[in-house]
Amino acid sequence: MILFLLIVSEFVGDARQYIREVDVDFPFKVIKGDSMTFELDERTVHPWAPGSCFQYLSSEDAVAYLNKIDASIKLFDVKSGTIVLSVPLSIEGPDSVGPEPVSFYWVNRDSIFVFSNLNNGRLSLLNSKGEKYRNYELNSTSDELAHTVELKRISGGISYSKQMNALFLGLRVYSPQKMLKRAPYLKLDIASGKLDYFTNPQPYAKSDLGKIPFDHRFGSTAVFYNDLSNELILDFALSPDLWVKRDSDKWLIFRAQSVYYEKPLFLKSELTKYKNNRRKYIDEVRLMPRYSALVYDQYRDVYYRIGRLPFNRELSKRRDMGEELKIYQEFSIQAFDKDFKKIAENKFFDENLLFEQGLFVNEEGLWLLRPQGEDEDVMEFKLMKILKK
């Protein structure tokens, strides 16, 4: 039986104070379950390496998928596995959402928010016909300390609060100077378009800010607002903690460290030191773990935290020496209850699961995208279920 130390703390300003420690064993386990298959049409393809956004829509019993090859959002009916709606995303003209959309959040058929990292920080609001109602300017023109807006490329970069009628957006961390003054998330009031910037939390030590790889997977921020508990949760790729804000201005810090590695690692030197040593940079990045996603399961009141484990150092050396060797990455899935107590953790190889390329949750559990098989006309997901031991 694995024992894990759950640590909770309060955060005020730059001070952390741990307020309780609890020994926890894991009463649940995460296992593989059934498969789900979606049929692709001639203009819909399996997402490539950076992954894509998927969102389960309970009102439609369908999964929305950002199909980047033709700039559209496809709606797959869960029961039939077929495409029942295609939302065009114009890249030019009056309905333009900008080139290369990378993220979306579907509220309903009349309120779909789409973000492009190449659209100068604009978020577009449109309907299911692709007709745009308005743009929201997310890059501040008055606050020089505000982060340049860049969102996660898989689900988790945008969260919607119905009771606030607001969006929360998790931003990429790659500017140490701005990070010292602004937290990497913002709040958008949908009706007025007003943006709120925040000073806290600051998840990384000042000495580590310059040691984050220039890679969106290591600098990303996942954000989720839970209307049921009035909680805002932030998940930073290189932090062992989950940051939770409730009704007060205080941040609670919940230790959410994988048992499969001691702590998130940063580069050994400042990023600028690797300019003339690309090989060393690649080697260090390969061995760095990261947290890839935070997903809320509203049907079980559980949070899943997915993390990529470090590459096996010895196998990496053998492959670099010329040995023909296939190395599969390992990922962990942690499960936390509504009080952020860890209740399960298991690790899996990515031979048959793409942990960082596509995921969603429905009544059955957490679904992870599988690699493309011989049949290029389908997209398959594997169910990860949480069961009591």
Residues 220-241 have a mean pLDDT of: 95
Judge whether 15 and 326 are in contact, CB under 8 Å.
no
* CA-based torsion, 117, 120, 123, 127: positive or negative: negative
Tens-place pLDDT, residues 90-126: 989 999 998 889 899 999 999 999 998 776 688 999 9
pLDDT at residue number 155: 83
pLDDT at residue number 45: 93
DSSP-derived 3-state class of residue 359: strand
In whole angstroms, give the CA distance from residue 105 to residue 10: 31
Residues 163-176 have a mean pLDDT of: 89
What is the reported pTM? 0.89
pLDDT at residue number 3: 35
Residue 15 has pLDDT above 90, yes or no: no
pLDDT at residue number 166: 97
- Nearest alpha carbon to residue 108 among 126, 122, 121, 90: 126
Mean pLDDT score across all residues of the chain: 86
φ/ψ of residue 21, rounded to 5: -130, 135
pLDDT at residue number 21: 34
User: Per mean pLDDT, which range of 140-154, 167-181, 375-389 is the poorest?
Assistant: 140-154
Name the band, by pLDDT with cuts 50, 70 and 90, for residue 32: confident
φ/ψ of residue 194, rounded to 5: -70, 135
Q: Between residues 350 and 59, which one has the greater pLDDT? A: 59
Q: Which alpha helices (H) appear in the chain, and where do they start and end?
A: 176-179, 216-219, 278-286, 313-320
Beta partners for 64?
Answer: 55, 75
Residues 314-343 have a mean pLDDT of: 78
Tens-place pLDDT, residues 46-89: 998 778 999 999 999 999 999 999 999 999 999 999 999 999 99
pLDDT at residue number 318: 62
What b-and-e string marks burial along 145-169, b requiring 16 or more CB atoms within 10 Å of the CB?
A: ebbebbbbbbbbbbbbbeeeebbbb
In whole angstroms, give the CA distance from residue 186 to residue 166: 10
Judge whether 124 and 113 are in contact, CB under 8 Å.
yes
Alpha carbon of 67 to those of 5, 104, 353, 372: distances in Å? Answer: 41, 11, 19, 15
CA atoms within 13 A on the CB side of 145: 11
pLDDT at residue number 337: 95
Write down the residue that tokens 């899943």 correspond to. Answer: 304
pLDDT at residue number 317: 64
Judge whether 46 and 37 are in contact, CB under 8 Å.
no
Residue 22 has pLDDT above 80, yes or no: no
Domains and CATH numbers, the chain: 3-388 (2.120.10.30)
Q: Which alpha helices (H) appear in 204-312, and where do they start and end?
A: 216-219, 278-286
In whole angstroms, give the CA distance from residue 252 to residue 8: 7
Name the band, by pLDDT with cuts 50, 70 and 90, for residue 37: very high
Name the band, by pLDDT with cuts 50, 70 and 90, for residue 139: confident
134: left (phi over 0), alpha (psi -120 to 50) or beta: beta
Q: Between residues 17 and 244, which one has the greater pLDDT? A: 244
pLDDT at residue number 181: 83
Q: How far apart are the first and last CA of the chain?
A: 11
In whole angstroms, give the CA distance from residue 359 to residue 383: 10
Cβ neighbours, 10 Å, residue 82 = 12
